Amino acid sequence: MGGDSRPLILTLTLDGASFGQLDELRRRHFPAERNQVPAHLTLFHALPGAERVRIVRELGVICQRQRRFPLQATGPRSLGRGVAISFASPELVALRQSLAREWADLLTPQDSARIAPHVTVQNKVAPDAARRLLRELEAEFRPFVAQAEGVTLWRYLDGPWDLDRRFRFGG
């Protein structure tokens, strides 16, 4: 057990060009006063901070074996009061399932559920504003392939996140 009990968040690290494209969408469409973190694809929302040593150790082993893999950006989807870009990747699902099995005793109900990979580009807006952006993005969206290069561990600070550690795939 560690000393800091604040939750940890685990996100997938994307290649620079894909991240830049998604982060630009987020900066343009996410309410500025609420946009405290960069664009991200969340793997786990609330890992127990007190288990950081175990989590870091296990991520080191898993990421050493894991190779980079592609993710297909499949298009925008509604979040009701926001919009996300959805992704499809059998490798991502397999990695997430492997981590979920490893940490089954640590997971919240949300983190125990099946993943629907996405990057949120707008959230917490009026439903009509979200519908307008969804239509706009559907009209201009061009599918693309991103590369998963690793994972990033963050500490949740009641709003903003603090970068804890990055893990690259394949060492």
DSSP code string of 88-148: E-HHHHHHHHHHHHHTGGG--HHHHSPP--EEEEE-SS-HHHHHHHHHHHHHH---EEEEE
pLDDT of residue 168: 97
pLDDT of residue 23: 97
pLDDT of residue 171: 52
The hierarchical CATH code for the domain 8-168 is 3.90.1140.10
Positive or negative CA dihedral for 156, 9, 152, 70? negative
Distance, CA of 70 to CA of 1 (rounded, Å): 35
Any idea what the Cα angle at residue 126 is, between residues 108 and 10, rounded to 5°?
25
pLDDT reading at 152 higher than 90: yes
Contacts of 163 (CB under 8 A, 6+ apart): 152, 154
Question: What SS3 state is found at 168?
Answer: strand
pTM of the model: 0.94
pLDDT reading at 79 higher than 60: yes
Q: Kindly list the domain boundaries of the chain, sorted by start residue.
A: 8-168
